[in-house]
Amino acid sequence: MVLELSEWTDTNSDNLIDQFSIISTLGDDLPLNSMIGQFTENPPSVPSSNVDHSQLPEFLGGDSNTSPTLDQWQSYVVGNDMVFSFTDGNISYIKLISANTFSSYDSHGNLESGIYDYDKMDDATGRLSLYQEKSYQYGSSQTAGSYVISSKCTAIFTLNFFNTDSLSDATHGKVGALGVHFIRDEDIEEFSNGSTTEKSSAYGSLRVYQDASLLYN
């Protein structure tokens, strides 16, 4: 297989190359579908940009040695997409819109929004708290007897930014690997009718991408 890389693009004007085009051929003359590539760690700088790579956070892209400060989080994580890969095979996605707001998609593909809070706990861990308000329509709004139930959702994650977490991996049945690991400590939805649903704790890996839609297209 021959890969031809071109169209190096700085999508967010930070003087770092974010995406590139890939044209592949099998053998000498069998073309394959073109693709878009994306750097997930150590992105090269735009020529003549004089970017000081020693000042870039090591956690950007998912591989890290230390938890980011709040200033680093706002400078290098806000505006990007976060992909949570759970050990049971499920994947969830959020986009950090600002320093305290995010968007996500529900199971039906509907866009939702919420607020979040990030705190650095120590040199290796941080805490990410997500809050959303939802509403559910039961029956047609034009039909007598239809009603709406609202809810408040809270999900809290402990993020481990150290390169490896073999003890937790063994505990949660995950193959050890580089990257940010997480434990979902709490996931509760409280409904206006008084009922509550709560998910059990879960474990997995977290990656930061500038555009997570590349994973789904």
2, 7, 22, 31, 130 from 27: Cα distances, Å: 7, 23, 16, 9, 48
Reported confidence tier of residue 41, pLDDT bands at 50, 70, 90: low
Per-residue pLDDT, 61: 40
Question: Residue ranges per domain, the chain?
Answer: 1-39, 57-215
Asked whether the predicted pLDDT for residue 26 surpasses 90, the reply is no
pLDDT in tens, 122-139: 888 899 999 999 988 877
Asked whether the predicted pLDDT for residue 140 surpasses 90, the reply is no
**Nearest partner of 103 among 76, 127, 150, 111, judged by Cα:** 111
Q: What is the rounded CA–CA span in Å between residue 33 and residue 93?
A: 26
In the structure encoding, which two tokens stand for residue 41, read together? Answer: 């760690």
Instruction: Collect all residues with Cβ–Cβ distance below 8 Å to 48 and sequence separation of at least 6.
Output: none
The whole-model pTM stands at 0.66
Q: What is the rounded CA–CA span in Å between residue 151 and residue 195?
A: 9
Q: What is the rounded CA–CA span in Å between residue 130 and residue 8?
A: 35
Asked whether the predicted pLDDT for residue 94 surpasses 60, the reply is yes
Q: What is the rounded CA–CA span in Å between residue 40 and residue 18?
A: 9
